[in-house]
Structure 1
Amino acid sequence: MRRPLFVFVIAVLLMLSARMAGAVPQTASDIRKLTERVAEWQIKNFTYQKEGNLHDYGIDAWTNAVLYVGMLKWTQSLETPSVYLDWLMKIGEENRWKIPANFANYPKYQYYHADELCVGQFYLGMYDRYGKDIMLHAVQERLDWIMTHPADTAMRYFNKQCWSWCDALFMAPPVYAHLAKITSEPRYLEFMHEHFLRTYHHLYDQTNHLFFRDDSYFAKKEINGAPVFWGRGNGWVLAGIANILELLPEDSKFRSFYVQLFTELASRLRQLQDKEGFWHASLLDPASYPSPETSSTALITYGLAYGLNHHLLDESYLPVVRKGWKALVSTVDKNGKVGWIQPIGADPKKVTREMTAVYGVGAFLMAATEIMELIE
């Protein structure tokens, strides 16, 4: 479809959806106001630990890293992003732009752990904007160390030296792709693709076209007898591929694989959206987990909206994205707190409106950024 007609279709569908949706923000101005309220609430309520479980709650933990990535993406939609950029700069400087490596009795495998690399997405994004070497140094040093110290690559779920769980495909691969873009060194992409393929061949179910969280779920079943496919886990993968595609050169020999996987996973996920626009904690047994789940919905909506904006998906996905955005808006309370976010875990769990988490907010900001681009 030619670009002008594509834009016209988007505009018409969004105007119609605005009439049907009532108070759901659909104009750029309304979306900006809502999302700023979300971002400001999270900044005001942001905390992190300096001791204890730093892997999940430290300043550079994967949980917080997803928030930083979402916040940085959101600044792209703002004419005056200084408030958010100042906050992000403060975070980076406070952590001295370091990759996690300061845990008590830090085990060697943590140096390979994909989660610990997630904050590198934030650092490299800030490097793109400010060009300060300190924002680049620790990321490149860690990736070079990993690549020159062969890891245990046995794809067992408890082995964190390799990408043995599907969440890892969001956390680490975009860091390698981004560093390859910055340095023009193809070895980072070669390494990324090799290890992505290992995870893909191990965890991707060719029958259901979904990713198992890890190999401990191969034989597990939901109450209805379906295999266990975690909503957020598959959201991590779709969003991770979008972030890889954003960084891959158009002529990359790897690009066709990621485009094919992205469209295949997107096609399957669109079938699993509920009538309200949500994806649930369990993708194939939503009846056992009927509550909304924001983190999976935000990650999937982000991925699908990215696909529309970059012409990887056709306009038939517009109603899916529209419903996903409407669902996300419903999770925000009057103060800007995003609820219905499943806590840290590895499988479907019960969720309530009061539950929030920084990674869910980061995913919300990522989705809002793509929605803004879609309608502008």
Structure 2
Amino acid sequence: MRLKKLSGLIIMLSLGGAISPLHVHAATSPQATTATAQTAIPDKKQVMDAVEKLALAEVNRLKDVEQNPGPGKRGINTNWISATFFVGTAKLVEAANVPEVLDYNLAVAKRFNYAHQGNSAPVNLINADDQAIGDLYQSIYLHTGLPGVLMPLQQRLDYTLPYLTLTPAPKRLVWWWCDALFMAPPVLTQMSAITGDAKYIDAMDVQFWRVYDRLYDKKEHLFARDERFIERRSANNQQIFWSRGQGWVVAGIARILESMPADYPSRPKYVALFQEMVARLITLQQPDGLWRASLLDLEAYPEAETSGTAFFTYALAFGINHGILDRKTYLPHALKGWNGLNQYILPNGILGQVQTAGDQPVPTRREATTLYSSGGYILAGLEMAKLNDPVSNLPKPVKTPPAFEYHASDIVITPHPVNATPDQIREYDRRNAEHAAVKELAFDPMVDAPKYPL
């Protein structure tokens, strides 16, 4: 599909060897951490079984919450927490036949009417966290071809675009926190791939690099969570680089690269940033394969943390599978991360030892679980399962949605109830006549407009 305003064709190529060394430090191989995990690549079926087991455990838990609500039971909504889980499940049902998960994805999206929260003040309408659920709606559109699925998302993104590219750049960022780079940019990039209109990816590109300029530490090769943390220090006088914050960024870049055209002008910058960050991150991996909540202050937070680890493992395996990262250098770290994560699967089948929602490092507990960490585990597992496959080209081809099969609604004749009174019979007859009139008189775009859609 040709994108408007983009020059050239979307060339499918492998990034292995296609990106020449840039100015970044990732051009040199980082020193590996101590290898303690097994070095064998896990069996694909075993990995997929583990991923499906966790996804089904979460789906069954969520269904139970819906059927038996109560204090302390966490269900779903359209926020970033739930959205991150559905980022994982959307990819899972694309890779494997898991009808229970697919049905749940479809049911949730329909329940929320393909809409978003934050439909009040403008500051909420442009909130990246509330746009993350768009990934689920995009996946359902590509699965079903239903034309109404994307409309609320497209309306929300169209409202946001002008603010992402304001010139001169305003004092405050639209995406003012690094987590946002996982939430909205992949949705915008994918929207350009689906629609063929480059306005979404172009606006994303402008705001992404504004965030980079303000929050990226070019010495540490890590992102401050937001501008409060640029100068802030821990009690041990360490810079505060939050594990999950870095995970949001590298996982977000991986998802951007899946949909970004191979000849997009700034694509090499995304690849270089991804390589530079991952090169730094593997030096901070601990012997158990996991990372700590505060990457530079192990004394303050000595316990393992799984949500950041899940996103790092996903990024590592993704980079290897797509030729962005050197396999020999990075494979041991991906394996250690995956093996480490699986030490924290709880008896209920869900990933534990998760830092709960927040904006900075805090201590973690083994029994702590969240939907976003489950989403991260699914993403990591799906890439780990492909480590024995050939290197895959990027961008990933956009799936062609099925043709929308349409039939004008049939009249539903409501039968008279047993023992109906004369008044009830008259009302049922009136209602049936009204339904027939709707079909006869209402303009139907797909029937009455030969050039639908106009």
Q: Which of the five TM-score ranges fits, normalised by the shorter chain?
A: 0.7 to 0.9
Larger Rg: 2
**Residue-by-residue CA offset, 1:262-283 (whole Å, 9 max, x unaligned):** 1011111111100010011001
State yes or no: 1:247 paired with 2:269: no
* Among 176, 179, 183, the residue aligned to 2:191: 179
Q: Which has the higher contact order (CA 8 A, sep 6+)?
A: 2
Give the aligned partner of residue 57 of structure 2. 41
Give the aligned partner of residue 14 of structure 1. none
Give the aligned partner of residue 143 of structure 2. 129
Greater per-residue helix proportion? 1
Cα distance in 2 for partners of 1:210, 1:149 equals 26
Give the aligned partner of residue 290 of structure 2. 278
Give the aligned partner of residue 79 of structure 2. 61
* Among 84, 90, 93, the residue aligned to 1:75: 93
Work out whether residues 293 and 308 of structure 2, in 8 Å CA contact, stay in contact via their aligned partners in 1. Answer: yes
Cα distance in 2 for partners of 1:37, 1:222 equals 38
Q: Amino acid of the residue matched to residue 90 of structure 1?
A: A
State yes or no: 1:313 paired with 2:329: no
Q: Amino acid of the residue matched to residue 30 of structure 1?
A: Q
Give the aligned partner of residue 214 of structure 1. 226
Give the aligned partner of residue 348 of structure 1. 361
In terms of mean alpha carbon deviation, does 234-243 or 120-129 score higher?
Answer: 120-129
CA drift at 1:57: 7.0
Cα distance in 1 for partners of 2:302, 2:288 equals 11
Residue segments in structure 2 that go unaligned for 5+ positions in a row: 1-13, 17-35, 67-73, 390-454
CA RMSD between the two structures:
2.5
Work out whether residues 75 and 81 of structure 1, in 8 Å CA contact, stay in contact via their aligned partners in 2. Answer: yes
Cα distance in 1 for partners of 2:98, 2:221 equals 39
What SS does structure 1 have at the residue aligned with 2:278? helix
Q: Amino acid of the residue matched to residue 341 of structure 1?
A: V
**Residue-by-residue CA offset, 1:231-262 (whole Å, 9 max, x unaligned):** 00000000000000000011111211100111
- Listed as ranges, the matches of 1:254-273 within 5 Å are 254-273=266-285
Give the aligned partner of residue 108 of structure 2. 91
Would the alpha carbon gap of residues 41 and 185 (structure 1) be closer, same or farther in structure 2, given more than 3 Å must change?
A: same
In terms of mean alpha carbon deviation, does 188-197 or 80-89 score higher?
Answer: 80-89
CA drift at 1:224: 3.0
TM-score, normalized by length of structure 1? 0.87
What SS does structure 2 have at the residue aligned with 1:336? coil
Work out whether residues 25 and 31 of structure 1, in 8 Å CA contact, stay in contact via their aligned partners in 2. Answer: no
What SS does structure 2 have at the residue aligned with 1:375? coil
CA drift at 1:217: 0.8
Work out whether residues 339 and 355 of structure 1, in 8 Å CA contact, stay in contact via their aligned partners in 2. Answer: yes
State yes or no: 1:195 paired with 2:213: no
Work out whether residues 37 and 339 of structure 2, in 8 Å CA contact, stay in contact via their aligned partners in 1. Answer: no
Aligned-residue identity in percent: 35
Cα distance in 2 for partners of 1:2, 1:262 equals 13
State yes or no: 1:26 paired with 2:42: yes
Cα distance in 2 for partners of 1:242, 1:62 equals 18
What SS does structure 1 have at the residue aligned with 2:233? coil
What SS does structure 2 have at the residue aligned with 1:330? helix
Q: Moved runs in structure 1, 4+ residues, more than 3 A?
A: 19-22, 148-156
CA drift at 1:148: 4.3
Q: Amino acid of the residue matched to residue 142 of structure 1?
A: R
The number of residue pairs the alignment matches comes to 346
CA drift at 1:2: 12
Q: Amino acid of the residue matched to residue 361 of structure 1?
A: S
Q: Amino acid of the residue matched to residue 379 of structure 2?
A: M
Cα distance in 1 for partners of 2:372, 2:236 equals 29
State yes or no: 1:303 paired with 2:315: yes
Work out whether residues 331 and 353 of structure 1, in 8 Å CA contact, stay in contact via their aligned partners in 2. Answer: yes
TM-score, normalized by length of structure 2? 0.72
Cα distance in 1 for partners of 2:54, 2:338 equals 14
Give the aligned partner of residue 111 of structure 1. 125
CA drift at 1:107: 2.7
Work out whether residues 164 and 207 of structure 2, in 8 Å CA contact, stay in contact via their aligned partners in 1. Answer: no
What SS does structure 1 have at the residue aligned with 2:361? coil
Cα distance in 2 for partners of 1:283, 1:71 equals 28
- Listed as ranges, the matches of 1:350-365 within 5 Å are 350-365=363-378
Give the aligned partner of residue 158 of structure 2. 144
Work out whether residues 221 and 227 of structure 1, in 8 Å CA contact, stay in contact via their aligned partners in 2. Answer: yes
**Residue-by-residue CA offset, 1:343-362 (whole Å, 9 max, x unaligned):** 11000000000100000100
Q: Amino acid of the residue matched to residue 108 of structure 1?
A: P
* Among 331, 334, 337, the residue aligned to 2:350: 337
